[in-house]
Amino acid sequence: MLESLSSSLRKTILKVRGAPIVDEKLINELIQDLENALLGTDVNLDLVLDISQKVKKRALQDQIPMAVSRKNYTIKVIYDELTDLLGKRYAPLRLNPNELNILMFIGIQGSGKTTSIGKFANYYQKRGFKVGVIGGDTFRPGALAQLKQYIEPIGIEVYGEEKEKKAINVIKNGLKHFKEKKSINLILIDTTGRHKEEKALIKEMEEIAKTAKPTEIILIIDASIGQQAQAQADAFNRATPIGSIILTKMDGSAKGGGALSAVAITGGVIRFYGEGEKIQDLVEFNPTRFVGSLLGMGDIEGLVESVNEAFGVEDTAELRDAFKKGKLTLRHFKTQMETANKQSSLGKIVSKIPGVGGLMAGHTDLEAESKESVKRFIAICSAMTDEELDNARIIKGSRIQRIARGSGTSPQEVKLLLQQFNQMSKQLKVMRKMRGRRGPQGGLPPGMEGLLGG
């Protein structure tokens, strides 16, 4: 599924992960990568620019809780914006097994109607529905044979009339046939695909719909047309309030992202997509899960949840004050580590970074590892004197040796902590300069993420 988009997005995420600090330069690189990835899958230029501006602004300027690293926040922002692009609403198709459901499939020539009906029949049969299919394509020679050949092997009856030329008659008779069989609770209607454009298609849809009174009309769009899908979806949305959309050929098309986003901005509801010619190749579309798998892991929702959770945790007033004044001491730093240690979300945040799954093979206990490093940082700070906590500059030579001994760590670890603390203080000064006198209020300067083990 959208392999090249997915692999470029994963590379982008890995770049965030691998960078020592998240600064403007990195964000600019990211934006460039993100734009290229989206344009490469035919997402509309205006949409791409809109997304990249939002990501840039949020990643650099949003005020985030101290327990969230700017890296994770940036990843979450990318995730948010992509999910937004594809439609936040998750709307599974609701069929009632206690009633007769009639679904009518329409779409321009060759879009994948007949194949999608087979996939639907298979999908819902597996979920306990008793399915019947009506071959309402009386236009193309061989259409009925194709339908039967595809669907009968899974044990589903196909109603068709070789000699009848009027689709509407076949559909009427087919409905009667299946309604008499009381056991059938899902009827799928195939239709003619002679239309090459939206207008005639919609007209025919309205005519058949009057007779068949479908529960739902399903528009099939071939994803390989990319952002041109917007015109079809638009016309369709205007014509019917009960429509859903299936995108086909998501496997073979480099333009799938364009088609998905183009349909999403019309407000059209994408329920499924096809990713192959076989009868099993139908996937229910869920924007959040979809973006999660694009970015490289199913569980990105976990990361997002953890970041959201951390947003609910107040930073201490003392800390905010320190940031405002631009005076950060190791004491603040220690307090922050202690808060982070208490938060269950921290370990979760670190362990749920999308895209690092493969790289982290063998480091399965990333969460425990990051908790461990926070604990060690706390231990190091606890071995410091009050004087040292208030003035990190005096920590040198023999003091480092003493702190390492006292905390059960090594002088290297103490130096690492001091380095990261210095980097953070520098970042804070730069930020204060950039933002004038106001100063960030509780925001985490880029670079602090290193302290959180992320």
Ligand X SMILES: Nc1nc2c(ncn2[C@@H]2O[C@H](COP(=O)(O)OP(=O)(O)OP(=O)(O)O)[C@@H](O)[C@H]2O)c(=O)[nH]1
Applying CB under 6 A, the residues found at the interface with ligand X are: 107, 109-115, 137, 140, 143, 193, 248-249, 251-252, 274-277, 281
Structure tokens at 140: 């193309």
Residue 276 interacts with which of ligand X, Mg ion, none, CB < 5 to 8 Å by class:
ligand X
Residue with smaller CB distance to Mg ion, 224 or 336: 224
Residue 71 interacts with which of ligand X, Mg ion, none, CB < 5 to 8 Å by class:
none
Residue of 318, 315, 334, 326 whose CA lies nearest to 386: 334
| One-letter amino acid for residue 425 of the chain | S
Task: State the Cα torsion 448-8-228-290 to the nearest 10°.
Answer: -70
Q: How buried is residue 35: exposed, middle or buried, by Cβ count under 10 Å (0-12/13-18/19+)?
A: middle
Residue 388 interacts with which of ligand X, Mg ion, none, CB < 5 to 8 Å by class:
none
Other Cβ atoms less than 10 A from the Cβ of 31: the count is 19
| One-letter amino acid for residue 92 of the chain | P
CB of 158 to ligand X, least distance (A): 14
CB of 139 to ligand X, least distance (A): 8
**In which residue are the tokens 């925001």 written?**
443
Pairing of strands 270-274, 186-191: unpaired
Structure tokens at 320: 């905010």
CB of 118 to ligand X, least distance (A): 8
Asked if residue 91 lies in contact with residue 180, where contact means CB atoms within 8 angstroms, the answer is no
Q: In the complex, which residue's CB is closest to ligand X?
A: 193
Residue with smaller CB distance to ligand X, 79 or 123: 123
Residue with smaller CB distance to Mg ion, 75 or 104: 104
Asked if residue 119 lies in contact with residue 279, where contact means CB atoms within 8 angstroms, the answer is yes
Q: In the complex, which residue's CB is closest to Mg ion?
A: 114
Size of residue set near Mg ion by CB under 5 A:
2
Residue with smaller CB distance to ligand X, 209 or 431: 209
CB of 136 to ligand X, least distance (A): 10
Residue 299 interacts with which of Mg ion, ligand X, none, CB < 5 to 8 Å by class:
none
d(CA 251, CA 80): 24
Residue with smaller CB distance to ligand X, 42 or 281: 281
Residue 367 interacts with which of ligand X, Mg ion, none, CB < 5 to 8 Å by class:
none
Site for Mg ion in 110-169 (CB under 5 A): 113-114
Handedness of CA 444, 448, 452, 453 (dihedral sign): positive
Site for Mg ion in 90-119 (CB under 5 A): 113-114
CB of 337 to ligand X, least distance (A): 51
Residue 110 interacts with which of ligand X, Mg ion, none, CB < 5 to 8 Å by class:
ligand X
Counting Cα atoms < 13 Å in the Cβ hemisphere of 159 gives 23
Task: State the Cα torsion 448-450-452-454 to the nearest 10°.
Answer: 130
Residue with smaller CB distance to ligand X, 106 or 212: 106
User: Can you give the binding site for Mg ion, defined by CB under 5 A?
Assistant: 113-114
